[in-house]
Amino acid sequence: MFLVKRAAEVMNRAIAVLPADMSLDIFLQQVADDEAVQHVVVTRDGHIVGVMRLNPGMRRGLAQTDTGLTLGEAAGLKFTMVRDTTLVFDVIRRIWAKDAVLAVVVKGRGAPRGGDVCGIIGKEQVADSVAESVQNYPD
């Protein structure tokens, strides 16, 4: 059942953890055709300060433009953090309570730092987990 899975079991690992002062333009030029990175977790002095989802349209549309922005300026702030051992039920509850778009999944104990990031959980990961659990039931 999807609600009792751990965050580590459903998270998206296609992420990059990058500094806030990195140029958005340079980053997008580097990953314009690389689908391996789907989300960016942005850090400042090791602290997690924002997240960005990289959809294909954004990659190609902005790759040839000069926004003049840094990742820190472009990153969204509507996220929450959960441990990799957190139950999906609690992840969903936390995302809802914090009015977040997604959860950054971190490993270890103590204050989460950029080096602790191991994935993200958004609506897609929750939906995939639900669909997978439904398939396990016979007709």
Q: Report the C-alpha gap between 98 and 76 in whole angstroms.
A: 14
- The answer to whether 71 and 94 have CB atoms below 8 angstroms apart is no
* Residue 1 pLDDT > 60: no
**Six-digit token string for 124:** 């897609």
DSSP per-residue letters across 43-90: EETTEEEEEEE--HHHHHHHHTS----BHHHH-B--EEEEETTSBHHH
4-34 pLDDT tens trace: 889 999 999 999 999 999 999 888 888 766 6
Residue-wise pLDDT for 61-118, tens only, equals 666 678 899 999 999 999 999 999 999 999 999 999 999 999 999 998 889 999 999 9
| Backbone angles phi and psi of 117, in degrees to 5 | -70, 130
Mapping DSSP to helix (H, G, I), strand (E, B) and coil, where does residue 16 land? strand
pLDDT in tens, 114-133: 999 999 998 877 766 666 76
Phi, psi angles (nearest 5°) of residue 4 = -100, 5
Please say whether the beta carbons of 28 and 56 come within 8 A.
Answer: no
| Amino acid code (one letter) for 122 | G
The structural domains of the chain, ordered by start, are 2-135 (3.10.580.10)
Query: pTM of this prediction?
Result: 0.85
